[in-house]
Structure 1
Amino acid sequence: MSGICDGRVVIVTGGGRGLGRAHALALAAEGARVVVNDLGVGPDGLPGEPPGPGGHARQVVDEIRAAGGEALAHGGDVAAPEGARSLIAAAVDGFGRLDALVNNAGFLRDRMLVNLDEEDWDAVVRVHLKGHFLPLKHAAAYWRGEAKAGRETAARVVGTTSGAGLLGSVGQGGYSAAKAGIVALTLVAAAELGRYGVQVNAVAPAARTRMTERAFPEAMAAPGAPGAFDAMSPSNVSPLVVWLCSGPPSAGVTGRVFEAEAGRITVMEGWRRGPTADRAARWTPAEAGEAARGLLAGAEPPLPVYGSGPPRPVHRKG
């Protein structure tokens, strides 16, 4: 296998199913040697789903090898210090290096805020946000060591955020907060790690997976006609992820957040300063309120939170 990731070593967390599996297969098809991480839990993060711990990762590894690629399986918990450390070690020990990290692992425990248990909040924030931080921390330490040893690095990190993290989503308070945190972590990591040759970006995907098929059953339905374009296939997101993991082709792209859905890619422009009022002195509360009202009148209205308005269209122009 050869392609834009030829010879590069890439880790994919949550790589046993859904988006992670699609990313792992697409990376291997472009020549990457892939470490497939998957804990093997259910869509709510609870154990007991066959074929057991690490089994889905091994199945993806078998697929890659059957197609002529190289891959290793890792069944550790990336939101635990030892699991994250051993993941990076698996790549370096198994393939001699690490070039890219795709943080994708996650699960859902959706509840309205008044019904959301602290345990469920902690579990969701842990897997998404801490599950991004710890592998990133250990990978960054490896790349810093490489840079200090004088070895040139063209490392890449791709985080997985969500439209829920960018806009919010009714019934997904913990998930939305964690995914928003991933965006902030991406920006900080891009600023801090650039000196070591590391580029850090994030992708907000929309695709049919175990996590979305219950939330958006109609939009996520597969096409009925044979050969029809499956707009919500996870494979539609993977080409952008593969490109972001490449070396020279993606050089200079860092600190960015993309939406990827069907055949559409969008660069998110994030928080930018809009209308401003400055009186160069302290406002009274009444004056501050009057100024805020005036500024809001001239500002762009926010996009609606997922689940708070009409159904979100699957395709949009632009």
Structure 2
Amino acid sequence: MTNTKMATQMREGRGFIAALDQSGGSTPKALRLYGINEDAYSDEAGMFDLIHQMRSRIITDAAFNGDRVIGAILFEMTMDRDVEGTPTAQYLWETKNVVPFLKIDKGLEAEENGVQLLKPMPGLGDLLDRAAAKGIFGTKERSVINAANEKGIADVVAQQFEVGKTVLSHGLMPILEPEVTISIADKAEAEDILLAEILKGLDALPEGQSVMLKLSLPTKANQYKPLIDHPKVMRVVALSGGYSRDEANELLSKNDGMIASFSRGLSEGLSAQQSDTDFNATLDAAVQSIFDASVK
């Protein structure tokens, strides 16, 4: 069964997960960093065509394959499109040996109790069924923690596990992502509360079930080691969260067993104007540096 191979790769594979899941709100910024300004497209459809071209260029590049990139998180519209004539998820696994994940959240609620919960996700069951049919292995949903508020963090974690259980019931692997904003003054305290809440959520999971976790790089090295070692956690991955690639790699390398799942950190330095040779060299160097920080 393909899923068994994918699960083994996610549990044991050496490498990192590429986050290629910028959505409507973050796409203009991602395109700007890639050297494409707003005047290059006149509507949302044109914008998404351009971001798909950027993602396709990354995915099809020789530097991007399962030897170093063990998984990739896709935006829904990317899942629904093709790469070189093959549906994206299928192309990733069959051609590149990269396990495909899908971002499923619909954005964030307004801040309350120092956190931003997930907006409602109408039609989630249908989306999960569609994802499973397209060969997606797992999902990701992101909420945000902006303060060391015990009630807020407990609410975020409870909601993440609730969504995770729905994902598991559709035969997919959830990546729970309660992101701690890296610039807050009480980040270390927020991470202590978060660790305790996640451990509670894991203990409440039925035997035989497991989740993945995507967390901000912690203030204290190896803060999340209890999660990495937990029998109900398949893998713990780190988001770059606004750090530059070099900063994120340096912090990641201090956390044993944690691997990267960088978005901006991966595409930093790539540009639409680069020749294929320059693009490949830039991407290869980025992939290698993130790989090295992940497998230290």
TM-score of Structure 1 vs Structure 2, range by shorter chain: 0.3 to 0.5
Q: Which has the higher contact order (CA 8 A, sep 6+)?
A: 2
Which protein shows a greater Rg?
1
Q: What TM-score do you get using the length of structure 1 for normalisation? A: 0.35
More strand per residue: 2
More helix per residue: 2
